[in-house]
Amino acid sequence: MTDHLELKQLSLDDDEYQDKTNTAYFNVDEIPHASELPPLNGTSDRSIFRESMCVAKQQIGSYVIGEQIGKGGFASVFKGLNTLTGDFVAIKRFDKSRISKEQLSSISTELDLLQRLKHESIVTILGQEENEHYIFIFLEFMENGSLATILNNFGTFPESLICTYVDNVLKGLAYLHSEGVIHRDIKAANILINKAGDAKLSDFGVAGEIKESDKRYSVVGTPYWMAPEVIEISGSVQVSDIWSIGCTIIELLTSTPPYFNLNPMSAMFRIVQDDKPPFPKNISNELLDFLDRCFCKNIEERATAKELLSHPWITKNRTILIHHQRNSSFKQHQQSFPSLDQISKTISVFVSTNDDSENSSHNTSRSSSFRDDDDDSKTNTIAIRPTATNHQSSSSNSPTTNKGDNLENKKAQMEISLLKLKNKELEGELKKESEKLIESEKKYKEILLSAMHYIYIVDSTMNITGGVKQTISDEVAHLRTVMRDQIEIEYFNAFPDDNMVPRFIQRRLTRDTLIHIPKKALEAQKRREKEEKKKEKKDKDKKDKDKKDKDKEKKKSPDSSIIDFSNSSSSSSSNSSSNLLSPTSNSSSNNNNSRSPMVIGKRTTSKNQINITNEINQHITNNVKLTPPTIVNNPNPYPKSP
Ligand SMILES: Nc1ncnc2c1ncn2[C@@H]1O[C@H](COP(=O)(O)OP(=O)(O)OP(=O)(O)O)[C@@H](O)[C@H]1O
């Protein structure tokens, strides 16, 4: 067994040990300056002083003893460090000089049991050491101490939290009991909590194994948590721990176990006498039932740990707990999510790294040191930029590696740059090619469209004029149709998605329907032309004949033509006419006129025109006021006789 302890240290009691070792070992800032200390071996060097302080540490095997974290009836408990693994541990130290032989045997029982029992709800033993003065047990470090300490620090717990702890403890107990072990000292002080909040059973000092007989006949444990059968020395059994679980629940709910206001003897008496210990008020029905099952006087009726694990109080709370755990684990994860700031920083660094490599590809003559400095000025995060990191670390360690690394980096960067350049060239070529294609396609489309458009205009012109101006021969028309079809097919094949095609085809269809019209129209036109020419000739002939007749008539009488329209004889009409047109014409003449108004009118108008012309001429010569011509106007051609 290795013992590195200084004899000087062993002579100190616990309090003195703590005062003199803890601060010096764990808080370097409190170490006085070397100049303030008396010289060691004639030197005041600070490093020597530190060495001297380190000698004061207690090292047991690979464990270094730290500050005290607890104290029980038999042992002091310290925080320890495993110098091999870096794990923190709890070191339970028993002072040999202060323990009886009986207690020594209980320590060995605890050691044996802990070494045999391995369960997630039982504190794990990591090893043991012994020297002349102490027995050391190295235990799994339970960061949050005992439930009793937490109860002292934080006050009583809600049912749900108690249930969580009890659930853990019951699992440990179910395991212990299945292994034939009774803990016999279940209480808040012996339930330890790790940093994750898991409860584990500890302190197996009074634990006992049921061997040949079913019961252990001794009064062990802490009075207030003791089961009646243990007090009565009728023998402790596994379910005795269940009674203690009931007492611990009340302890966690109220901060004290039942009968705590009484002295231990009175309390023990009441435990045996009373049907059940008094329950706290305002607890759930499930917990009431749970406690009823724990505080059964009859051990046969008392629930086992396994049974209680499926009690509604436990199962219901377990579901709630799982929910809470999920929530909190999500929150934990959420906390570990990078912040927006971090993300943007990372992106900016990534971009800057890429920029750097791009810059280096364009300017390979830049030195790596220049690049690193430049990087640092852009962002403080260097860790994700391998070039900068490599350069920095290697420059401080080995110049040879630094040179090699830099060369490698440069080479890699050059390769990347070359690849990028090649990619860019290819990209450019492809772009040009596709641009050419697009351009030629565009041109081709334009040609086809304008050709179609031309043909369309030609056709529509013919259609609009009703085929009159269609002067192309059938041969040319046929060629045009073939060309038009070819162009449209070509267009359709080249640009199948273009909606221009259906529009052209549609127009063409309309045109094709109209194309038959000109033929008929042409025939009709020819007929019309012929008829018109015939009519024109006929009219001309008639005009010529009329002219000749008129001339003949004029030679005979100037008014012959007018006279012709009259039913009267030429002589009488001539007379009457002169009479009628005369302003001094008598009424008898008027009477005659009234019998044939149509003829009279005609004649009158003609005469009036002559009269007006004469009057105008006269007026102009005499400068006399013009008076309207007197038109024979008889409102009543047949006046009534008086
Ligand atoms: N593994 C551990 N991790 C952290 N703290 C511990 C550990 N073991 C014990 N302790 C602390 O030390 C205290 C005393 O430990 P423990 O109860 O085992 O000593 P004990 O002398 O056996 O006590 P008791 O008088 O109950 O028998 C505990 O209440 C707890 O606060």
Alpha carbon 394 to its chain centroid, in Å, reads 42
Which residues have a Cβ under 8 Å from the Cβ of 553 and sit 6 or more positions away?
A: 560, 561, 564
State mean pLDDT over 178-204. 91
Instruction: Provide the token pair at 162.
Output: 């108690």
Using DSSP, state whether 95 is helix, strand or coil.
Answer: strand
Look at residue 218 in the predicted model and tell me its pLDDT: 54
Ligand 1 center from residue 640 Cα (angstroms)? 160
Question: pLDDT per residue over 6-55, tens digit each?
Answer: 333 333 344 433 332 222 222 323 333 334 434 444 444 444 444 444 44
More confident residue, 330 or 574: 330
Please give the number of the atom of ligand 1 that sits closest to the Cα of 148: 29
Of the candidates 603, 605, 614, which has an alpha carbon nearest to the alpha carbon of residue 572?
Answer: 603
Which residue, among 85, 79, 69, 67, has the nearest Cα to 25 in the 3D structure? 67
> Is 185 part of the annotated catalytic residue set?
yes
Note the ipTM here.
0.96
pLDDT at 310 over 80: yes
Number of Cβ within a 10 Å radius of residue 302: 23
Handedness of CA 514, 518, 523, 524 (dihedral sign): positive
**Could you tell me the CA-to-CA distances from 36 to 40, 57, 578 in Å, in that order?**
12, 22, 169
| Ramachandran category for residue 504: left, alpha or beta (phi over 0 → left; psi -120 to 50 → alpha) | alpha
Q: For residue 329, what pLDDT is reported?
A: 61
CA of 192 to the centre of ligand 1 (A): 8
Does the annotation place 625 within a ligand binding site? Answer: no
- CA of residue 175 to ligand 1 center, whole Å: 21
Assigned token pair, 380: 């403080």
Q: What is the pLDDT of residue 143?
A: 94
Closest C-alpha to 78, from 88, 68, 87: 68
Please tell me the least confidently modeled range out of 133-147, 339-353, 459-473, 571-585: 571-585
- pLDDT at residue 280 greater than cutoff 70: yes
- Residue 154: is its pLDDT beyond 70? yes
430 φ, ψ to 5°? -60, -40
Tell me the C-alpha to C-alpha distance, in Å, between residue 215 and each of 210, 237, 577: 6, 6, 173
**CA 468 – CA 519 distance, rounded (Å):** 9
CA 568 to chain CA centroid, Å, is 114
Indicate the pLDDT class of residue 632, thresholds 50, 70 and 90. very low
Best probe residue, ligand 1, of 74, 77, 94 (max atoms within 8 Å of C-beta): 77
Q: What is the mean pLDDT of residues 392-398?
A: 41
Q: Which residues line ligand 1 (CB under 6 A)?
A: 69-70, 72-75, 77, 90, 92, 123, 139-142, 145-146, 149, 189-190, 192, 202-203, 205
Record the pTM: 0.48
Site to probe by mutation for ligand 1, drawn from 69, 91, 151 as the one with most ligand atoms within 8 Å of Cβ, is 69
Q: pLDDT at residue 61 above 80?
A: yes
Q: Of 57, 65, 207, 249, whose CA–CA distance to 141 is shortest?
A: 65
